Chain A
Amino acid sequence: MLRRILAAVATLLGVAVFVFIMLRAIPGNQITAGLGTEAAALTPAQQQQLEAYYGLDQPLIVQFFSWLGNIFTGNLGFSARAQQSVLELTAQSLPVTIELALFSIVLALAIGVPLGMLSASRPDSPRDAFGQVVGLAGLSIPAFLLATTLLAVLASSFGFNPNGEGYAYFLDNPWLNLQQMLLPSLVLGFGIAAPIMRTTRTAVLEIRSNDFIRTAKAKGVPPRRLQAKHVLGNALVPIVTMTGLQFGYLLGGAVVVEQIFSLPGIGRQVLLGIQQKEYALVQSTVLIIALSFVIVNLLTDVLYRMIDPRVRAA
Chain B
Amino acid sequence: MTDITQTATLAPGGGRTMERVRLLLRSRSGLVGLIIVIVLGVLSLLSAFGLLPYDPIAQDPPARLQPPSAEHWFGTDQFGRDVFSRVAAGVANSALISLVAVAFATLVGTFCGLVAGFYRGVSDGVISGVTNVLFAFPPLLLALSLASVFDRNWFTIAVAIAIVYVPIFIRVTRGPVLSLREIEYVKAATSTGQSRSMVMFRHVLPNITSIIIVQVTLSLSWAVLTEASLSFLGLGTPPPAPSLGSMIFEARTLIGIAPWTMIAPGAVVVLLVVGLNLLGDGLRDALDPRNRGKK
Contacts and interface: CB of A to CB of B under 8 A. Distances in A.
Contacts of B266: 145, 149
A139 interface: yes
Contact of A248 (B138, B148, B235, B270): B138
A156 interface: yes
Nearest to B253: A152
B153 interface: no
Contact of B2 (A12, A156, A248): A248
Interface in B207-225: 221, 225
B234 interface: yes
A152 B235 contact: no
B180 interface: no
A274 B229 contact: no
A275 B234 contact: yes
A42 interface: no
Contacts of A274: 144-145, 148, 235
B175 interface: no
A195 interface: yes
A289 B138 contact: yes
Interface in B107-132: 129-130, 132
Interface in A25-71: 25-26
Contacts of B235: 274
Contacts of B57: none
Given A144-B232, A145-B269, A274-B235, A249 B139 contact: yes
B38 interface: no
A236 interface: no
Interface in A76-134: none
Interface string B130-148: 1011101111110011101
A26 B149 CA distance: 5
A250 B269 CA distance: 20
A191 B139 CA distance: 15
A139 B270 contact: no
Contacts of B140: 249, 252-253, 255-256
Given A11-B132, A140-B273, A156-B256, A22 B149 contact: yes
A302 interface: no
Interface in A250-299: 250-253, 255-256, 259, 267, 270-271, 274-275, 282, 286, 289-290, 293-294
B218 to A, nearest CB: 10
Nearest to A25: B149
A191 B229 CA distance: 14
Nearest to A141: B270
B36 to A, nearest CB: 11
B262 interface: yes
Interface in B1-22: 1-5
B137 A145 contact: no
B136 A271 contact: no
Contacts of B3: 139, 195, 198, 242, 245
Contact of A245 (B2, B141, B245, B278): B2
Given A140-B274, A142-B228, A191 B137 contact: no
B171 to A, nearest CB: 12
Contacts of B141: 251-252, 255, 267, 270, 286, 289
A149 B259 CA distance: 10
Given A152-B252, A195-B2, A139 B273 contact: yes
Nearest to A10: B129
Contacts of A140: 221, 270, 273-274, 277
B58 interface: no
Contact of A271 (B5, B133, B138, B233): B233
Pick the most buried of A12, A26, A198, A249: most chain B CB atoms within 10 A of its CB: A249
A287 B175 CA distance: 29
Pick the most buried of A140, A143, A156, A294: most chain B CB atoms within 10 A of its CB: A140
B248 interface: yes
B269 A142 contact: yes
A248 B1 CA distance: 10
A250 B232 CA distance: 17
Contact of B137 (A143, A152, A293): A293
A25 B150 CA distance: 8
Contacts of A139: 1, 3, 221, 273, 277
B255 interface: yes
Interface string B250-267: 001001100000100010
A286 B145 contact: yes
B255 A152 contact: yes
* Chain A to chain B: the 10 pairs with minimum beta-carbon distance, closest first: A252-B140, A14-B133, A252-B138, A249-B2, A251-B138, A248-B138, A140-B273, A152-B255, A274-B148, A195-B3
Interface of B: 1-5, 129-130, 132-134, 136-141, 144-146, 148-149, 221, 225, 228-229, 232-235, 245, 248-249, 252, 255-256, 262, 266, 269-270, 273-274, 277-278
Interface of A: 7, 10-12, 14-15, 17-18, 22, 25-26, 136, 139-145, 148-149, 151-153, 156, 191, 194-195, 198, 242, 245-253, 255-256, 259, 267, 270-271, 274-275, 282, 286, 289-290, 293-294
